[in-house]
Amino acid sequence: MGVSALPAVAEPVIAALGDSLTAGYGLADGQGLVPQLQAWLDGKGADVTVMNAGVSGDTTAGGLSRLDWTLSPDVGGLIVALGGNDMLRGLPPEASKANLEAILQGAEDRGIPVLLVAMQAPANLGPDYQAAFDAIYADLAAKYQVALNPGFYAPLLGSPPDPARLAPFLQPDGLHPNAEGVTKIVEGLGPDVLTLLDQMK
């Protein structure tokens, strides 16, 4: 008699919905955020697959338009890291907030826990814009009771935050992290992803 094979249980999947920072812009295969995060999680013994749903140049509106196909039936957790391109284009903060809220509502409707990654507007956009934009993430995290990460660049800026510390961790464009920068970003993000994985269970 043959041994009856038990059906394989698929690993839980976390989708990382984002822009060029998530997609791994300008980096070699294996150096981007998702592969480095996957390796970090593997090193912690976490039984999870991270799916790269990052599209360079994407805005919150673009992310919202991709939500339905991103949240395929195998996806049990969602990282939302959008808003940087809205800010760079000077789009109205209220529009960005509405798009992010629709993403969080879509995940909530499906019972999918979310890790929201905050973005911060630079001072050169003016204090009113900066205050309105920066408030989006904490407001939505509180309203939808989702975890909030302080931002991809927080581990690079140090405490207290110092923009001068960023340079060694950026690509020549001065915007996107290099491979070493991504490694530090993952070290800051990873524990929150482990918490997200616990919520999925």
19 counts as catalytic: no
**Cα 135 to Cα 65: distance, rounded to the nearest angstrom:** 23
Task: List the catalytic residue out of 20, 58, 86, 96.
Answer: 20
Apex CA 171: angle with CA 28 and CA 179, to 5°?
45
> Smallest Cα–Cα separation from 51: which of 26, 28, 84, 73?
73
Residue 13, classed as helix, strand or coil, is strand
Task: List the catalytic residue out of 29, 109, 128, 173.
Answer: 173
Instruction: Provide the 10 A C-beta neighbour count for residue 176.
Output: 19
173 counts as catalytic: yes
Answer whether the bond into residue 160 is a cis peptide, omega within 30°. yes
Cα-Cα end-to-end distance for the chain: 36
Which residues neighbour 2 within 8 Å (Cβ) at sequence distance 6 or greater?
Answer: none
Task: List the catalytic residue out of 4, 56, 176, 192.
Answer: 176
20 counts as catalytic: yes
The residues annotated with a catalytic role in the active site are 20, 173, 176
